[in-house]
């Protein structure tokens, strides 16, 4: 049987359709399309027992197998930290449009970063980046670069006080070329390095996430330019008061002095401390304002080195 070839106009599955694996014989009822990307489609599905999950399907068996393997490895290395969605089934499916390959995973729920920061305040940016640094370190220790690291691939689970990563389609073994990326976060697009998968590639993307979160208007302005202008980006950050406490960290990355997540995390600590103090004042002035503690405790749990800093 020929392999399914995605089209821009027609998803592979329709709501109400049942996906049945060729090998494992498990069935999933499709409830809707969650998203489409460069290497596949993601659907909201329901098992026969009523459990709701997400199913990612692709025409590339190697891509699906690699993502599934990476997510399994992250589960084993996470030690209770939800680096990515939990993964379950891995199988093929035969459709009228050809053979396709899929895996089934936990459906991650959460709030996108921009609305979360709008509600909670921009000072939470450093706390979220702190959690993200810890997650990336776990991935790097396994020998993988996240690759397509961006604001849109992160959610905040407000009930558990944790940042969650989604869409692992860009994860690439160290030493290879990053296969999936977004221009704004891509150092090669800015003329600041290669697309070689390595720790410093993700660190650059972290710095661009900060810019996108603190000054979305600046991002839209610069991203709309016909030719990327990194000098203008640096000048804008230097002149914009929103980046006051962040300039040292950003300039350190962009100058090449900071290439590791561990070093970037160190540069975050003064801002994390300021965020903690801000939330303590908020809680003192408004005793019902206590959800922030959950996120602080979550940050401390995944980063033992700052426990004392947070609770002193």
Name the residues annotated as catalytic: 148
Q: Which two tokens stand for residue 67?
A: 């993502």
Contact 244, 122 (CB under 8 A): no
Q: How far apart are CA 15 and CA 19, in angstroms?
A: 11
Tell me: is residue 56 an annotated ligand-binding position: yes
Using CA atoms, how far residue 150 sits from 22, 94, 154, 158, in Å, is: 35, 33, 7, 19
From residue 179, alpha-carbon distances to 20, 64, 204, 237 in Å are: 29, 14, 16, 29
Number of Cβ within a 10 Å radius of residue 238:
11
Structure tokens at 118: 């709008």
* Whole-Å CA distances, 184 to 130, 143, 152, 195: 21, 24, 12, 13
Distance CA(4)–CA(101), nearest Å, equals 9
Instruction: Mark the binding-site residues for ATP, compressed into ranges.
Output: 56
Instruction: Mark the binding-site residues, compressed into ranges.
Output: 56
């Amino acid at each position: 049987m020929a392999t399914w070839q995605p089209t821009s106009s027609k998803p592979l599955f329709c709501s109400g359709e049942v996906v049945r694996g060729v090998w494992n014989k498990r069935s999933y009822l499709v409830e809707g399309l969650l998203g489409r990307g460069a290497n596949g489609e993601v659907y909201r599905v329901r098992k026969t027992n009523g459990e709701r999950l997400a199913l990612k399907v692709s025409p590339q068996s190697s891509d699906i197998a690699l993502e599934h393997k990476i997510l399994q490895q992250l589960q084993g290395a996470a030690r209770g930290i939800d680096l990515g969605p939990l993964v379950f089934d891995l199988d093929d499916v035969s459709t009228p449009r050809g053979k396709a390959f899929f895996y089934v995973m936990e459906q991650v729920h959460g709030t996108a970063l921009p609305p979360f920061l709008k509600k909670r305040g921009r000072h939470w940016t450093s706390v979220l980046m702190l959690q993200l640094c810890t997650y990336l370190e776990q991935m790097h220790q396994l020998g993988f670069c996240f690759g397509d690291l961006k604001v849109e691939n992160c959610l905040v689970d407000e009930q558990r006080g944790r940042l969650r990563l989604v869409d692992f389609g860009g994860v690439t073994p160290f030493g290879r070329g990053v296969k999936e990326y977004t221009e704004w976060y891509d150092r090669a697009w800015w003329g600041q390095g290669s697309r070689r998968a390595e720790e410093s590639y993700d660190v650059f993307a972290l710095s661009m996430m900060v810019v996108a979160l603190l000054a979305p208007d600046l991002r839209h302005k610069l991203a709309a330019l016909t030719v990327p202008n990194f000098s203008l980006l640096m000048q804008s950050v230097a002149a914009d008061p929103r980046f006051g406490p962040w300039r040292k960290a950003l300039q350190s990355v962009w100058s090449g002095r900071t290439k590791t997540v561990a070093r970037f995390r160190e540069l975050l600590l003064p801002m994390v401390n300021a965020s903690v103090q801000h939330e303590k004042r908020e809680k003192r002035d408004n005793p019902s304002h206590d959800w922030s503690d959950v996120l602080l405790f979550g940050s401390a749990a995944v980063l033992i080195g700052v426990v004392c800093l947070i609770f002193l």
